[in-house]
Amino acid sequence: MPLKVKILSINRGGKLIQEERKVGSKGQVIIPKAMRKALKIELGSKVLFKLEGDEIILKRYFDAVAVFERIAKSGKSVSKIDPHAAYEEELEERYKRALSGR
């Protein structure tokens, strides 16, 4: 006999969304479309399961490192800055401002 699962979610309007789903033979549960949309869960998205007492919490997995890697790969290449030259330029600018302030 398949197990029934109650899925609870609060949408952005503050309303509680609740749906009941059956667990399949492999332990799979389909996340309702409205909830996938609200959490921006798409094909290939990662989710995180957390067990709290007798409840399972499902969260959209956010991998900050992967986001930064994707941004870095898609953006323009940034040239390296010579720290010593930048330091010297900053000192020179400060010195000029100090002299002009006299």
Q: For 5-33, write each residue's pLDDT tens digit.
A: 666 655 556 667 778 888 999 999 998 88
47-86 pLDDT, tens digit per residue, is: 988 888 888 888 888 888 887 888 888 776 666 667 788 7
The average confidence (pLDDT) of the chain is 80
> At residue 50, what is the residue type?
K
CA dist 84 and 82 (Å) reads 6
CB 17 within 8 A of CB 9: yes
Distance CA 87, CA 100 (A): 20
pLDDT of residue 3: 54
Please determine, for residue 37, whether its predicted confidence score (pLDDT) is greater than 70: yes
Taking Cα atoms as reference points, which of 48, 54, 53 lies closest to residue 31? 48
* Amino acid 58: pLDDT: 85
Report the candidate in 43, 29, 33, 45 with the shortest Cα–Cα distance to residue 9. 33
* Contact residues for 67 (Cβ-Cβ < 8 A; gap 6+): none
